[in-house]
Amino acid sequence: MEEPTPSVGDAHIVFQCAKCNVIIGDSTSWAFANKSLSGVVLHATTQNVTETQMVRTSDEDVDFGSTYTLLQCNNCKTTIGRVYKTTPKKLDEVRDLFMFSVPMISSYHLGSFEQKTNTNAENLLDIPTARYLNSQLWKIQSLIVTMNNRLTALENCVEVESNDELNGDVPV
């Protein structure tokens, strides 16, 4: 084992397929990280991951002679890791666990967001309610209707006076 299990105080981590972002596991099933294999090893995975049936033998330097099956993302069918069936003694800790290849996965640390709003409780108190806005709109609408009625009445008076002047009905 190269890295210990994260402590309970650490933030939880969600692991996803790097290609389609489907969730493949989380840190509650964390076993360890293996630098030499460039992998994250979990005790369990989600139903979004399938282990292939075909057993392969590695011809790579690090795990030469090991047998393994592939782990595939069910959503996009990308190979995202391995389950080792036999290993050399130095890799015994990865046997029968889910080893996800770091370049094929992405991770998100829950609670790792940094962006915050500029509002505080005092600013929230300055935001008007819908009821208040509705009452203000009602007042404005009433004022506009009243002004419209007065303007219409004035226009009618001016029109009557102009008609009287045209007809010669001017008071002496």
pLDDT digit string, tens, across residues 48-67: 999 999 999 999 888 999 99
Closest CA to 35 of 102, 109, 98: 102
Residue 158, classified by CB atoms within 10 Å of its CB into exposed (0-12), middle (13-18) or buried (19+), is exposed
Q: What is the mean pLDDT of residues 85-105?
A: 92
Per-residue model confidence (pLDDT) at position 163: 73
**Mean pLDDT (the chain, rounded):** 82
User: Does 110 or 4 have the greater pLDDT score?
Assistant: 110
Per-residue model confidence (pLDDT) at position 9: 44
Position 22 pLDDT exceeds 80: yes
**C-alpha span between 84 and 124 (Å, rounded):** 56
Per-residue model confidence (pLDDT) at position 128: 60
Tokens of 93: 């800790």
Q: Which residue has the tokens 């049936």?
A: 53
Report residue 91 CA to chain centroid gap. Answer: 37
Q: Is the dihedral of CA 43, 49, 55, 56 positive or negative?
A: negative
Q: What are phi and psi of 97, to 5 degrees?
A: -115, 170
Position 172 pLDDT exceeds 60: no
User: Does 10 or 138 have the greater pLDDT score?
Assistant: 138
Contact yes or no for 15/24 (Cβ under 8 A): yes
**C-alpha span between 11 and 114 (Å, rounded):** 14
Per-residue model confidence (pLDDT) at position 137: 87
User: Does 60 or 3 have the greater pLDDT score?
Assistant: 60
Specify the CATH number for 13-109; select among 3.20.20.70, 1.20.58.110, 2.170.150.20, 1.20.120.550: 2.170.150.20
**C-alpha span between 163 and 124 (Å, rounded):** 59
Per-residue model confidence (pLDDT) at position 3: 47
Per-residue model confidence (pLDDT) at position 60: 87
Position 32 pLDDT exceeds 90: no
Domain boundaries, the chain: 13-109, 129-167
Indicate the range of 35-49, 125-139, 154-168 predicted with least confidence: 125-139
The angle at the Cα of 141, spanning 137 to 143, to the nearest 5 degrees, equals: 120
Per-residue model confidence (pLDDT) at position 135: 81
Position 99 pLDDT exceeds 50: yes
Q: What is the mean pLDDT of residues 102-123?
A: 67
